[in-house]
Structure 1
Amino acid sequence: MRLPEWANRLWAMVIKELLQLRRDRLTFAMMLGIPLIQLTLFGYAINGDPKQLPTLLVAHEQTPFSRSLSTALENSQYFRLLPGQHGDAEADRLLASGEVQFAVIIPAGFSRSLQRGESPVLQVDADATDPTATANAIATLQQLTQQALQADLKGPLAQPKRHDPFELRIHRRYNPEGLTQYNIVPGLMGVILTMTMIMMTALAVTRELERGTLENLLATPIRPLEVMTGKILPYVAIGLVQVLVILLAGKLLFQVPFVGSTLLLLLGVSIFIAANLVVGITISSVARNQTQAMQMTFFFFLPSMLLSGFMFPFRGMPQWAQAIGELLPLTHFLRLIRGVMLKGNDLAQSWPHLWPLLLFILIMLLIGLKRFRRTLD
């Protein structure tokens, strides 16, 4: 049976598109790769109920009661107690740097007050910059007042049912009210900069490659590093304007506090913008057209958004996902910006988050320069 003429034309067009798709291997890989990444990340890496959160136990006395409390914390599965003896100053430092999520402080005289039935205070300091990461753990802490010392408080030490054996006093540091905008607004700064900086740079350079205008650079003494720097600098200014808008909106609309150094924030933002722009330059040296540049931008942006701790608690992810997240500049920028804005961190406390960004820039710059030189040749 002979097909109508319009069906033959349609079939020829379908064959033509399939052949073109087969030649564009990068697009075909993206069509398969992005769904697989989404399935893997959402199926295995994303966890809204983080456990084994690093916790510092500051025990000003070593008694059976303090040992029972530490055992109860570990048995809850939400707390991972760091080994060794620790003091109050160390607890403040580790909370400010983000190395621990909780600090449980057992005061001196705690056991004696328990034995007298005076309901002593057990203080728990929580890094509440991300309320989602601490919500379930804090809810578990509330049950400790009834269960932690049941085996120790028997006979004449048994407490009346009308009150708890001790008072649990939780201090939500850096975000006492547990407001999510304190966590989201600084994070949005990093997400917006990641998307716009990479996309604009990748498309700008790829557009010139498509039009052939970069060939004119071959007739000039300009070097690849100078070309990349000239491409990057205008977008640094655009990124700083975006940061200013986000900071003003966060302050005026959402009342997000800013307790740190403005100069340190600008330093961190500038380094982060440079990291994203170098990624955009590198993408443009690989992509053959603007469509591929967009696809590769999204391919980089999706893991950055999901594995950086912006949408889901970073410590709730499995170790392999955390290892990938540590390679992404957005992960370190979120820790840096939240530390400066909410905790008032100084340069020494921010340096552990700055040097990975600088190292990332160096590596991507070397890769981008190598490929960009090939592109110009």
Structure 2
Amino acid sequence: MGVILTMTMVMMTALAVTRERERGTMENLLAMPVRPMEVMVGKILPYIGVGYVQVAVIVASGRWLFGVPLMGSLTLLSLALLLFIASNLTVGFTFSTMARNQLQAMQMSFFFFLPSILLSGFMFPFRGMPVWAQWIGEIFPLTHFLRVVRGILLKGNGVAESWPEMWPIIVFVAASAALAMKQYRQTLD
């Protein structure tokens, strides 16, 4: 679930502003009486719905096709998903403000996506990696999200057990959103 969301959410949003720039519609967007934060929220909100549709398909498939248990709270899972989807969307928006065209935005997405997968504990045991790789892996929201999802779905973890892995995602969202806003304002100038 986390890998699919990372791949699709970052890429879709990374193409959002660069597509506007390439098509020449960025000037229309800039002429509107909206603030940069409103533009970012407007670009991100539809993709949150898309992310939840993907999650519904993944959870249903996991439950009925593969027999994956759902031990924990779906409400807590939904909250964790909202944070994780927002983290990926803000990264994608940041990339779209930095890239000059869609190819650059796609390349930036892959440069985020590949280390995120390799260092998150998805492919290799996290504690089996070198310490420097673990430090880098702790930066990525996928690392924390995988721990949250495993805990909620397989162990029935609650808020108290999930919080130590959720607050780093919140910090990541705030940092990437701030960077996106700073970069977006620079593209306005």
TM over 0.5: yes
Cα deviation for residue 204 of structure 1 reads 2.1
| Partner Cα distance (2:21, 2:13) in 1 | 12
Residue in structure 1 matched with residue 133 of structure 2 by the alignment: 321
| Partner Cα distance (2:31, 2:67) in 1 | 53
Looking at secondary structure, tell me which structure has more strand per residue. 1
Residue in structure 1 matched with residue 26 of structure 2 by the alignment: 214
1:96-245 equivalence runs, <5 A: 189-245=1-57
Is 2:150 aligned against 1:351?
A: no
Match of 1:269 among 67, 81, 88: 81
Cα deviation for residue 205 of structure 1 reads 1.8
Q: Contact 2:144 / 2:168 at 8 angstroms: preserved in 1? A: yes
Residue in structure 1 matched with residue 151 of structure 2 by the alignment: 339
Match of 1:370 among 170, 182, 185: 182
Q: Contact 2:16 / 2:93 at 8 angstroms: preserved in 1? A: no
Larger relative CO (CA 8 A, sep 6+): 1 or 2?
Answer: 2
Structure label with greater radius of gyration = 1
Cα deviation for residue 211 of structure 1 reads 1.3
* Per-residue Cα deviation, 1:27-79 (whole angstroms, up to 9, x for no partner): xxxxxxxxxxxxxxxxxxxxxxxxxxxxxxxxxxxxxxxxxxxxxxxxxxxxx
| Partner Cα distance (1:216, 1:307) in 2 | 40
- Any idea what SS the aligned residue of 1:372 has? helix
| Partner Cα distance (1:219, 1:321) in 2 | 45
Cα deviation for residue 376 of structure 1 reads 2.2
Q: Which runs of 4+ in 1 moved over 6 A?
A: none
Residue in structure 2 matched with residue 45 of structure 1 by the alignment: none
| Partner Cα distance (1:277, 1:229) in 2 | 10
Cα deviation for residue 217 of structure 1 reads 2.2
% identity of equivalent residues: 66
| Partner Cα distance (1:358, 1:349) in 2 | 16
- Number of matched residues? 189
Cα deviation for residue 347 of structure 1 reads 0.4
Letter in 2 for 1:312: F
Letter in 2 for 1:237: G
Q: Contact 1:215 / 1:376 at 8 angstroms: preserved in 2? A: no
TM-score by length of 2: 0.99
Residue in structure 1 matched with residue 101 of structure 2 by the alignment: 289
TM-score by length of 1: 0.50
| Partner Cα distance (2:29, 2:15) in 1 | 18
| Partner Cα distance (1:241, 1:206) in 2 | 25
| Partner Cα distance (2:87, 2:97) in 1 | 16
Cα deviation for residue 373 of structure 1 reads 1.1
Looking at secondary structure, tell me which structure has more helix per residue. 2
Cα deviation for residue 218 of structure 1 reads 2.3
Cα deviation for residue 224 of structure 1 reads 0.2
Q: Contact 1:214 / 1:376 at 8 angstroms: preserved in 2? A: no
